[in-house]
Structure 1
Amino acid sequence: MAHDHDPTELISLDFDLTLHEARRRVEVIAAIGPLWDPIAAIRGEEAAYALLYSDLDPDQQRTYDNLVQAGVLPQQASRP
């Protein structure tokens, strides 16, 4: 059985991922569990960044400042 199909003709494929996305979100929330505290998680991340960028030598501080100025790193509230 031969099909006469023009190879230059575009074929439209539409996928509705709404149900899949809703299912994915439910599974993420279930995996996180009821004891997850998003505010505590954010505070923990901020503390980790503060520790990561603490006690920089002058060359490291210059590099950090250049990266902040370039928009590569966000200015941390605890940083000068």
Structure 2
Amino acid sequence: MTPHAPIPGPDRPDGPGRPLTGFDVDFTGHEIERRAQILAALGADWDPVEVLRGEEEAYDLLYSGLDAEQQRRYDDLVAAGVLPRRPGGGRAAA
């Protein structure tokens, strides 16, 4: 923690006219530990590239076989930036 100059503020209950004091908390160590625990929970066989590939396949399946109205709505959502532009010229897979 790094102390700072007192912050002007209202009177505190523990004494009249005592200003509040600011400080910083460094969570770097906690963040490193959190990330290490996440990676341990995922296991050694976790393959992030394969996970992303599976997500892409799921999106391709989700947006495949759209009828004309669904395709129009899909195109509107892509144009509005709600959905990302997909490979294939921005059209859902047929």
Could you say which TM-score interval applies, normalised by the shorter chain?
Answer: 0.7 to 0.9
The answer to whether residue 68 in structure 2 is matched with residue 58 in structure 1 is yes
Unaligned runs of 5+ in 1: none
The number of residues matched between the two structures is 78
2:49 is aligned to 39
The amino acid that maps onto 2:16 is D
Percent of residue pairs identical: 49
1:4 is aligned to 16
Output one character per residue of 1:18-67: Cα deviation in whole Å (capped at 9) or x when no partner: 01100000001000000011111010000010111111111111111011
TM-score with structure 1 length normalisation? 0.83
The amino acid that maps onto 2:25 is F
In 1, the alpha carbon distance for the partners of 2:14 and 2:46 equals 59
TM-score with structure 2 length normalisation? 0.72
More strand by share: 2
In 2, the alpha carbon distance for the partners of 1:34 and 1:57 equals 42
Unaligned runs of 5+ in 2: 1-12
1:71 to 58, 81, 84: 81
Q: Compared with structure 1, are the counterparts of its residues 36 and 4 closer, same or farther at alpha carbon in structure 2 (3 Å cutoff)?
A: same
SS of aligned partner of 2:66? coil
In 1, the alpha carbon distance for the partners of 2:14 and 2:43 equals 55
Larger Rg, first or second structure (1 or 2): 2
- Segments of 4+ moved more than 4 angstroms: none
More helix by share: 1
2:33 is aligned to 23
